[in-house]
Structure 1
Amino acid sequence: MTQDFAGKVAIVTGGASGIGEAVSRDLSGRGAQVVVADFNEEGVRALVDELSQRSGVEARAFKVDVSKPDEVEAMVGFTIKEFGQLDLAVNNAGIGGKSAPMGEIDPDDWHKVLNVNLHGVFYGMRYQIPAMLKSGGGSIVNMASILGAVGWRGSAAYVASKHAVTGITQTAALEYSSKGIRVNAVGPGFIKTPLIETSMSDEAHAGLVGMHPIGRLGTPDEVAAITNFLLSDAASFVTGSYYPVDGAFLAQ
């Protein structure tokens, strides 16, 4: 079995930075033709320009708001128009939302988080799956979180969205595994990103690190490694599963 993606076409949402960027870079480096989709049009175009120059394979940029089904449908249509097929998809786009206890959550904030984190994943699969069926099958990875398995004070909307992502992942796997489409979820712990590095005090950062028995935060490349393994033929018997990448956070 191989993790070579030559001849494969992939979509990565939230692909302009962080985990999505790492996934896109790795897929492209292994030979996939990648549509990197993100709401940040400038960032996604800069990344695609770089990938196209370095990897020798084709990459395309697509600006998308995953909370809008017509834009997600257009993203899949664009991929088919550009590359003729769809084999792989990573539904990674997500937001954190405002922190508030359950009894004080603004309903608008609640819906904003669910619209991106849950509905965006649903819209992705809704339009990716028919395209993959026409291409003869494929593999999807939905980005959940360790908070798809436990609660977290002040983040009810985020927690609800990520629990739901694991549920719809399992359901889609049951429905389409016999038709050649595998669907899995990845649950990152807290990942070292510029936002975390610059927005937290040293004390708060140390506290966050201390929640992970491994003694550090994860990196985007570490999440990309398991994500792209699940996309690959090396994981051909793996579907309907949830894989934490969390430095033993959930083992406590």
Structure 2
Amino acid sequence: MIILVTGASSGFGAEIARRFAREGHNVIAAARRKDRLDALAAEFNGKVLPIEMDVTSKTSIERALASLPQEWKEIEVLVNNAGLALGIQPVHKASLEDWETMIETNCKGLATVTYLVAPGMVERKRGVIINVGSPAGAYPYPGANAYGATKAFVHQFTLNLIADLAGTGVRASNIAPGLSGGTEFSNVRLKDDEAAAKVYEGTVPLSAADVAETAYWIATLPPHVNINYVEMMPTCQGFGPLAIKRNL
């Protein structure tokens, strides 16, 4: 199979690329940080093709896809992994620029890549689209505001893909991982490595390998089986209590 993984320079994306490449599949590793992609490609003798792609730019996506060698163009699995969270401030203190970046990346970027790749899958009557969401798309919590809304978009977009693609041979799934270590997620969100480290203190979070294994499982199921939604959490994580402000 030929697999396209966005956000493949670190975290989930890099590990998903490794998981497929180890099984002998051809992986197109896409991200902005080409140097990291080159290092990833060096781990696998010709099985990983690094391409520079910024999912917030339609031009960048189109250029990257157009640059693929002919033998790499028939993408069978698309993993829309590129995404981020920025900030934990409440709505009245949050950064509008951060909101815009999350919407551009998590919603518009994911939708654009899907729009450009899905028609080829439908034409070939086979393919799997795996979107990386979050429990934040289902459960609100203080500070999630725009991030949670973008992941709710990922969930609903995936469900509507399933509705659109019924009978075409193309499947769509949403993987929603909870607390996950070994990624840059909290470092990027908090913009503070020390604060990011404290998020995982005393926990055994999900690993990028756990998420990669789930993506691989979904992609390699029999073609008549579709996994609509997988919500993953480590056993140290549960559902938080509803917030109540008391004036005592």
**Which residue in 2 is equivalent to 1:100?**
89
Question: CA contact under 8 A between 2:76 and 2:126: conserved in structure 1?
Answer: yes
Task: Report the 3-state secondary structure (helix = DSSP H, G, I; strand = E; otherwise coil) of the residue aligned with 2:24.
Answer: coil
User: Structure 2: how far apart are the matches of 1:35 and 1:15?
Assistant: 9
Q: Does 1:78 align with 2:82?
A: no
**Of the candidates 52, 63, 73, which is equivalent to residue 52 of structure 2?**
63
TM-score by length of 2: 0.86
**Of the candidates 231, 235, 243, which is equivalent to residue 244 of structure 1?**
231
**Which residue in 2 is equivalent to 1:223?**
211
The runs of at least 4 consecutive aligned structure 1 residues that moved more than 6 Å come to none
Q: Does 1:29 align with 2:10?
A: no
When residues 202 and 182 of structure 1 are mapped into structure 2, their CA distance, relative to the original with a 3 A threshold, is closer
Question: CA contact under 8 A between 1:97 and 1:155: conserved in structure 2?
Answer: no
**Of the candidates 188, 200, 204, which is equivalent to residue 195 of structure 2?**
200
TM-score by length of 1: 0.84
User: Structure 1: how far apart are the matches of 2:111 and 2:12?
Assistant: 19
**Which residue in 1 is equivalent to 2:44?**
51
Bigger shift: 117-126 or 195-204? 195-204
Greater fraction helix: 1
State the aligned residue count.
Answer: 233
Task: Report the 3-state secondary structure (helix = DSSP H, G, I; strand = E; otherwise coil) of the residue aligned with 1:182.
Answer: strand
When residues 205 and 87 of structure 1 are mapped into structure 2, their CA distance, relative to the original with a 3 A threshold, is closer
**Which residue in 1 is equivalent to 2:245?**
none
Could you tell me which amino acid in structure 2 is paired with residue 17 of structure 1? Answer: S
Question: CA contact under 8 A between 2:78 and 2:130: conserved in structure 1?
Answer: yes
Residues 192-214 of structure 1: CA deviation (Å, up to 9, x unaligned): 1254595337764337x3xxxxx
**Of the candidates 133, 144, 147, which is equivalent to residue 136 of structure 2?**
147
**Structure 1 vs Structure 2 CA RMSD:** 2.2
**Identity of paired residues, percent?**
21
Structure 1 gaps of 5+ residues are: 1-7, 210-215
